Structure formats: C-alpha cells, structure tokens
Amino acid sequence: MVVGRLRLDIHIPAAHSLKAKRSVLNHVKERVRHRFNASIAEVGHQDLWQRATLGVAVVGESPGVIDHVLRDILAVVEREDRLSVLDCQVTID
C-alpha cells in the first residue's frame, strides 16, 4: 500500500469574509472528492479570510499511479479561477 499526500497553500483574493472563503473551498473540496475519491480537508489558516492550506490524501498500489493522481488533483485546483496556489508539496510513502 502506498500513501500520497498533497499540501496546498492557497490564496483567495476575492474572499472578504470567512463565509466567502468557505464557499470557494467547499466547491474545490467537493470537486476533488467526487472526481478522485480522495480525502481533502482544510488544515491551516482557518482564521484568515484570504489564505488556506488544504491537505489531500490518496491511497493506492503504486507510487507512479499515486503521483499521477496527485498531479491531476493539483491541476484541478489550479483551474479554479477564484484562487491561486502559492505552494504545493507532494509526499509519497
């Protein structure tokens, strides 16, 4: 069993309240859960309006497959026009 983790630091420039931030993040999290069957949660900057850190976890049989899935998840998040990805870290164990 191989576990892959993706940590995304995100900026949401148009969020002027926690409610607006949650709206954007909930949309992204639902898309990732539905499309990739991955676990995803906000793991940092919960009290800031325009910043967020998302953690994503995927389990599979091969490191190559896990890497491909995590890269696809990153691409889906980056296509969201209401946010920008400031940094990402991929770990595969």
What tokens were used for 37? 């069957």
Which pLDDT belongs to residue 69? Answer: 98
Looking at the domain 2-92, which fold is it? Alpha-Beta Plaits (3.30.70)
pTM of the model: 0.94
Per-residue exposure over 50-60, b if at least 16 CB sit within 10 Å of its own CB, e if not: ebbbbebebeb
- Listed by start position, the domains of the chain span 2-92
| pLDDT above 90: percentage of residues in the chain | 100
pLDDT of residue 84: 98
Give tens-digit pLDDT for 30-68: 999 999 999 999 999 999 999 999 999 999 999 999 999
Alpha-carbon distance values, 79 to 50, 63, 83 (Å):
18, 24, 9
Where residue 45 falls (left for φ over 0; alpha for ψ -120 to 50; beta otherwise) is left
